[in-house]
Amino acid sequence: MKILIKSATIVNSESKYHQQKVDILLNNGKIENIGEEISTQADKTIEYNNLHVSLGWFDSSVSFGEPGYEERETLDNGIKTAAKSGFTSIAVNPITNPVSDNSTAIKYLKSYQGKYGVNLHPVGALTIKSESVDLAELYDMKNAGAVSFSDVKTPIKNPNLLKIALQYAQNFDGLVQSFPQENAIARNGSAHEDYHSTLLGLKGIPSLAEELQITRDLFILEYTGGKLHIPTISTAKSVKLIKEAKKKGLDITCSVAIHQLIFTDEKLQNFDANYKVMPPLRTNSDIKALITGLKDGTIDMVTTDHTPIDIEHKKVEFENASYGTIGLETAFGALNTIFTTEKTIELLTKGQARFGIKKPSLEIGENADFTLFNPDGKHTFEKENIISSSKNSMFIGHSLKGKVYGVFANNQLTLS
């Protein structure tokens, strides 16, 4: 099948076609030709207003629910949401019931590989049932297709467990993740410990809870070696700690959730549980440090930290509500309000290598793995724009910039 993409501006700083307006001819999923004007018979022609094309986007932390929590999100609709949001590659967290802590569970997730064109990369649980007690079958899961190991929002409470995990995973080049929170300090807090939590009477989670855990983890990493990824950092001190660790030569990476670059804890004034996330929304000074960290490379990647939560667990009293917000649908439009389009695309196409995932290439003869979008035009994100089954988005009513048209990957075209 031949597909002709007309008058598309390429956004890929590594390509010789960067910022050029070209036609792209695809034949059975491969790039057959790129040129200023291609005249040929095609089975389908794609033309959009102000069409831009980049390499397919990657998200390192996506949660759905199935199997076990289908009321939050099914795999089918979740993957469709990712595709229509511009993502051709996603790392899917083991927040399932039962927890994805064995090779059979990983193979089940891998069976959805390529649906709607999206490459699904399972993240295996680091410990059995994500209880932070005993290591799970890491090697078996790696062989089944797991790209990393994480208990997601469950911190590794036993430092010796992290030590053993980092030592063991080195035998097969495994990537260990450690959520940055010391629960003995965070306890049952629901908001950043500061002026607003005190004013609203909410139990606070101090920045110290994150920074203390990161400090511990970095000391262990320095001792053991290995590969460590710290997901969704949220404080200025965390950025500083990781910057210093990289200067030491430690094999450390980290990510930041996109909503942490946009919203502060001031948003909690109306007790809207959509703004209840983990880690909690912090302060303006933290946002400035996180953005600086992305610009100077201290923070390696952004993530939507997409976490669907059904209405029964969100539309309740703030302190009883579950943590999490969806973010796939709003990722591009939110980042595009902070950074230039070129920087936004750079951030959305970073991170694959850390997870052992081959990054696509925009060259003739290569498999096509594209995101199609318009970088211009502002709009207000509304509930009816949500594709996810769960509607817990903190971006409802927020102004975004740009529009995603869809993706082409794995020889499949999925349009918004």
Q: Identify the pLDDT of residue 197.
A: 95
Q: Identify the pLDDT of residue 24.
A: 97
Number of residues in the chain: 416
Q: Identify the pLDDT of residue 202.
A: 96
Q: Identify the pLDDT of residue 128.
A: 98
Q: Identify the pLDDT of residue 118.
A: 98
For residue range 16-62, what is the model confidence (pLDDT) as tens digits? 999 999 999 999 999 999 999 998 999 999 999 999 999 999 999 99
SS3 category, 218: helix
Distance CA 250, CA 245 (A): 6
Q: What is the percent of the chain with per-residue pLDDT over 90, rounded to a whole number? A: 100
| Ramachandran angles phi, psi of 142, nearest 5° | -60, -45
Confidence of residue 316 (pLDDT cuts 50, 70, 90): very high
For residue range 252-301, what is the model confidence (pLDDT) as tens digits? 999 999 999 999 999 999 999 999 999 999 999 999 999 999 999 999 99
Catalytically annotated residue among 305, 310, 369, 376 = 305
Distance CA 44, CA 86 (A): 20
194 a catalytic residue: no
Mean pLDDT of the chain: 97
The per-residue DSSP string of 291-316 comes to HHHHHHTSS-EEE--B----HHHHSS
Average pLDDT score over residue span 295-316? 97
Q: What are the residues facing 387 on neighbouring strands? A: none
Q: Identify the pLDDT of residue 85.
A: 98
For residue range 144-196, what is the model confidence (pLDDT) as tens digits? 999 999 999 999 999 999 999 999 999 999 999 999 999 999 999 999 999 99
- The domains of the chain, with CATH numbers, are 2-53+363-378+400-415 (2.30.40.10), 57-355 (3.20.20.140)
For residue range 217-246, what is the model confidence (pLDDT) as tens digits? 999 999 999 999 999 999 999 999 999 999
**CA trace torsion 139, 144, 145, 151 (10° rounding):** -60
Q: What are the residues facing 279 on neighbouring strands? A: none
Confidence of residue 74 (pLDDT cuts 50, 70, 90): very high
The per-residue DSSP string of 42-66 comes to -SEEE--TT-EEEEPEEEEEE---T
Confidence of residue 95 (pLDDT cuts 50, 70, 90): very high
- For the chain, how are helix, strand and coil distributed in percent, rounded to 5? 35, 25, 45
Average pLDDT score over residue span 347-362? 96
For residue range 361-370, what is the model confidence (pLDDT) as tens digits? 999 999 999 9
Instruction: Say how many C-beta atoms besides its own lie within 10 A of residue 364's C-beta.
Output: 13
